[in-house]
Amino acid sequence: MTSERSLPQLQAYEGSSPKPADFDSFWDRALRDLDAQPLDYELVPAEFTSELAECFHLYFTGVGGARIHCKYARPKKAAQEKGRGIVIFHGYSCDSGDWMEKVAYAAHGISVLAMDCRGQGGLSEDNLTVQGTTIRGHIIRGLDDPNPDNLYYRNVFLDTAQTARILMSMPEVDPARVGAYGCSQGGALTVACAALEPRISMAVPVYPFLSDYKRAWELDITTSAYEEINYYFRFFDPHHEREEEIFNRLGYIDIQNLASRIQAKVLWVTGLADTICPPSTQFAAYNKITAPKDLMVYYEYGHEYLPYLADRTLQTFMNL
């Protein structure tokens, strides 16, 4: 097993990246924008059918007017009482995935709403107009805009909370029994969702992305999911004259700065051999969670398939 730090060191690590002085007011203002969004949504029967679940495409209007797409699967037989629900978030540049995963949860009485991120591999729109470049990814989208509200992930983080609110509003779902789950980028969005929607009761982030950007840059960033930060400096600030400003701006969309807002129970999953989202970047966020939390460590595993995780996750959400 190799790791850039030992497990005891990781469990004491507090992060290298700055937190903007107005971070809390930034997100309080963002949540006011979200509060102004109606919880209206459109359900369209899916082309995929199952004997165990009703499957729909769900569309809603997110902050800024973007049309957001989700896949929704609910148990086919209506329960006598409102049941459990989970929101699921996908990895970087992907989409909400196959129906089979959702049907498996629905077969166990859990309604699932899986969100497509704006402008990535699914059907959600990215209508954000910003100044500056994107180069090769979304982290730096909006980084050069004078208004930090135009950071790409500001709106995506808000979409996660709106997705959870919509699921909680469903007549078949008990809003007190809703969880959040995702891997990599989806793990980061799970953290953001639980931080911005305090009614989330259980969160399972798996090797989350979008944390402790400066630490990621200090490591071998060209082999990680954070490589676009390297390209940004190469092309736009090769002498690092704006380094402090850049990392401070990224602090608005750093999940380690949101983690202390989480009120849900947390099952955090990490692999100590992860070179895509290095363990120290993950622990920077995990260590700031003050809510009840458990750590599930895969010592010899990295950013990859983790055996038995799907079973553990289902069992976790069955206990909602």
Residues contacting residue 289 through CB under 8 Å, at least 6 positions apart: 259, 260, 262, 266, 268
Q: Give which of 218, 206, 227, 188 is closest to 4, Cα–Cα.
A: 218
Residues annotated as part of the active site: 184, 274, 303
CA 141 vs CA 131, 151, 155, 176, 236: distances in Å: 9, 6, 11, 35, 14
Residue 170, token pair as written in the block: 């469903």
How far is it, in rounded angstroms, from Cα 12 to Cα 189? 23
How far is it, in rounded angstroms, from Cα 111 to Cα 74? 4
Q: Give the orientation angle of helix 23-35 with respect to helix 185-196, to 10 degrees.
A: 80
How far is it, in rounded angstroms, from Cα 189 to Cα 31? 15
How far is it, in rounded angstroms, from Cα 27 to Cα 242? 24
